[in-house]
Structure 1
Amino acid sequence: MTAPLDVPESAATAPSDEMLAGADRKAIEGRSLGQIAWRRLRRDKVAIAGACVIIFLILVAVFAPLIVKWFGHDPLEYHEDLTDSRSMAPKAAFGGISLDFLFGVEPQNGRDIFSRVVYGARVSLLIAFLATLLSVVIGTLLGVIAGYFGGWVDTLIGRAMDVFLAFPLLVFAIALAGVVPDQAFGLTGDTLRVALLIFIIGFFNWPYLGRIIRGQTLSLREREFVDAARSLGARGPYIIFRELLPNLIAPILIYSTLLIPSNILFEAALSFLGVGVRPPTPTWGGMLADAARYYTIPHFMVFPGLAIFVTVLAFNLFGDGLRDALDPRGKR
């Protein structure tokens, strides 16, 4: 037999070069689902560009008075000296576009188009965000209740969704907005019109999200973590708010970002038809309605129409990227 080699004790216990190289490295940390989704979203340049446009539009709406003070004029201020009394067109070329009037002036009254577009962003985004919030709250609660309890509760809520989806929303909105007086429910003026539009758009659009949440809940209620909560004695409200809703955040966020642009278009359509926020308060839809009478002056229609187009496109691009980041299995 060969005698064992005498290995020095210091050599036997000395760490290897690989161990020394890894000693200074940080321990491997796990990533949450939110961090993983953010990494995916960050790689989507188109979605990030849409998010940057959305943030820019929100800042423009919030700081509209300051922006108009620096770069424009009062949106209700008339500049009739800048328009021709006969043709009603701006006297200067290119619709009166200059350093003082960045988007030119309106025909007939000479109001600053730039200032009116900036202030119009406040109305459109405010109504769209709050109406979407109302739809999300109602749709999420009713959808998760219908999907979890099933039975006659699901049937009752499902038939209510069918009624709302079959309802001629645009016709009802025109009729309701047209008959409401200038003072009602303790509100007057623009405050009443904005609150009315938020209610009409938000309350009657909840079934679209409600159906999606109901379908997701039907799948989640059969999962093991829900059975485990039931076996521990958890009741329905606890399971809904503590187990189901946290797992529904992804579809809620995705469809909320896709619902906002449709609400912006809805508000613009109502204002275009004359039943939205009433003049002289500037709105994008109202500006397009006024511009329709002056089709020979294209700049009057281009800027509010471009504002609607860019806003809706930015939300749709961001919504698509958010869907791919939160649900990569559904990515095309």
Structure 2
Amino acid sequence: MTAPLEAQDSAEGAEPEAITRGVRNTANRSLRQIAWQRLKRDRVAMAGGVVVIVLVLAAVLAPVIAWLTGESPYQYDEALMDPLTGGALNDPADPASGVDPLGGMSLKHPFGLEPGNGRDMFLRVIYGAQISLIVAFCATVLCVVIGTLLGIVSGYFGGWVDAVISRAMDIFLAFPLLLFAIALAGVVPDGAFGLNGNGLRIGLLIFIIGFFNWPYIGRIVRGQTLALKEREFVEAARSLGAGNAHILFRELLPNLVTPILVYSTLLIPTNIIFEASLSFLGVGINPPTPSWGGMLDNALDYYTTSPHFVIVPGLAIFLTVLAFNLLGDGLRDAFDPRSTD
């Protein structure tokens, strides 16, 4: 038995209207709104973003957290430690109570105590996040600025300009960055350029990481610029008498924001690992200033008796890098024009 003709006509007429409504709703959304909707559906990327936000807030509010807990990341409390093994005592009032297998973890010290000196691990990790994020973010900004400027100029002008900048990229990419950083950090004095101590160390790490890593993002920007400069909107701007500066920074650069943002998110964890590696090797942040790499270096003397000293900063690095990578992958998928809603 067939449906009435009126019902059939109604059903047939509803489908094109629904399709038109869906197209209208999609057309009314900006690229930012579409990307946000895609990102919200990616639970893994959103989880990474939450971890990143919590980490940044903890690093910014580290002094407040230290004030609320009444502890200090620099406060030595050797009375809580076993003088023979360096581990935390089960009962600080009884030196014969033995070593606590949990490393002194409690409500007051959630991550335990540093072996040998009794400093609070929780605050050391939070203050270490400050160093890692400052170096990683500032180095990424320097890398993005240099790489974007040289990449867009190289791709737009071409010719001998492109050849010179491309060969410079090849030279920087072939440079043994880790060995150079170790050598440079070892010969720079404690005071230079109006800075001293860890202020100079942080500035040096930012310069090394940012200045020598720009070719990675420079190549991406150059490739995108080569494709964009042949598009109709560039030809239209040129036909209206727009100069090279206008085309570069008002036409091309806004269309490069998405790949730059995505790659920057993926570059930050690389810089975090690089800073931690230098601190681990003893040429990064000077103690007693907390740094995740420096904490791992100190843990080598106690990993058999206090394994939490290795696990805590190691997990901090692992979770931070993983969170940034998951967020970066989610942003890349969200801004991909080939993705479907």
TM-score (norm 1): 0.90
- For structure 2, the residue ranges without an aligned partner over 5 or more in a row are 1-23, 91-99
CA–CA separation in structure 1 for the residues paired with 2:149 and 2:155: 10
Superposition deviation, residue 328 in structure 1: 4.3
Corresponding residue for residue 319 of structure 2: 310
CA–CA separation in structure 1 for the residues paired with 2:208 and 2:276: 14
Equivalences for 1:169-318 in 2 at 5 Å?
169-296=177-304, 297-318=306-327
CA–CA separation in structure 1 for the residues paired with 2:339 and 2:166: 26
1:40 aligns with 2:38: yes
CA deviation profile, 1:209-246 (whole Å, cap 9, x unmatched): 00000000000011111111111111111100000001
Corresponding residue for residue 167 of structure 1: 175
Superposition deviation, residue 72 in structure 1: 5.9
CA–CA separation in structure 2 for the residues paired with 1:85 and 1:59: 36
**How much is the aligned-residue C-alpha RMSD, in angstroms?**
1.7
Superposition deviation, residue 42 in structure 1: 1.1
Corresponding residue for residue 62 of structure 2: 64
Corresponding residue for residue 324 of structure 1: 333
- Residues 72 and 100 of structure 1 are in contact (CA less than 8 Å); yes or no, is this contact kept in structure 2? no
CA–CA separation in structure 2 for the residues paired with 1:74 and 1:33: 46
- For structure 1, the residue ranges without an aligned partner over 5 or more in a row are 1-26
Corresponding residue for residue 15 of structure 1: none
CA deviation profile, 1:267-311 (whole Å, cap 9, x unmatched): 000000001110000000000000011121110111111110110
Deviates further, 153-162 or 293-302: 293-302
CA–CA separation in structure 2 for the residues paired with 1:284 and 1:43: 33
Question: Structure 1 residues 75, 183: closer, same or farther in 2, change over 3 A?
Answer: same
Superposition deviation, residue 43 in structure 1: 1.0
Superposition misfits of 4+ residues, deviation over 6 angstroms: none
Give SS of 1:181's match.
Answer: coil
Superposition deviation, residue 117 in structure 1: 0.4
Query: For 1:90, which of 88, 91, 100 is the aligned residue?
Result: 88
CA deviation profile, 1:5-35 (whole Å, cap 9, x unmatched): xxxxxxxxxxxxxxxxxxxxxx968111111
CA–CA separation in structure 1 for the residues paired with 2:281 and 2:164: 35
Equivalences for 1:74-85 in 2 at 5 Å?
74-85=72-83
Give SS of 1:123's match.
Answer: helix
Corresponding residue for residue 97 of structure 2: none
Query: For 1:54, which of 46, 52, 55 is the aligned residue?
Result: 52
- Residues 77 and 111 of structure 1 are in contact (CA less than 8 Å); yes or no, is this contact kept in structure 2? yes
Give SS of 1:300's match.
Answer: helix
Query: For 1:136, which of 132, 135, 144 is the aligned residue?
Result: 144
CA–CA separation in structure 2 for the residues paired with 1:117 and 1:212: 34
- Residues 72 and 101 of structure 1 are in contact (CA less than 8 Å); yes or no, is this contact kept in structure 2? no
Q: In the alignment, residue 238 of structure 1 is paired with which amino acid?
A: H
Give SS of 1:237's match.
Answer: helix
Question: Structure 1 residues 267, 72: closer, same or farther in 2, change over 3 A?
Answer: farther
CA–CA separation in structure 2 for the residues paired with 1:87 and 1:270: 28
How many percent identity over aligned positions?
67
- Residues 106 and 113 of structure 1 are in contact (CA less than 8 Å); yes or no, is this contact kept in structure 2? yes
Superposition deviation, residue 326 in structure 1: 0.4
Give SS of 1:95's match.
Answer: coil
- Residues 78 and 109 of structure 1 are in contact (CA less than 8 Å); yes or no, is this contact kept in structure 2? yes
Q: In the alignment, residue 217 of structure 1 is paired with which amino acid?
A: T
Corresponding residue for residue 14 of structure 1: none
- Residues 72 and 114 of structure 1 are in contact (CA less than 8 Å); yes or no, is this contact kept in structure 2? no
CA–CA separation in structure 2 for the residues paired with 1:248 and 1:88: 54
Q: In the alignment, residue 252 of structure 1 is paired with which amino acid?
A: I
* Paired residues, number: 307
Give SS of 1:293's match.
Answer: coil
CA–CA separation in structure 1 for the residues paired with 2:249 and 2:299: 49
Corresponding residue for residue 113 of structure 1: 121
Give SS of 2:129's match.
Answer: helix
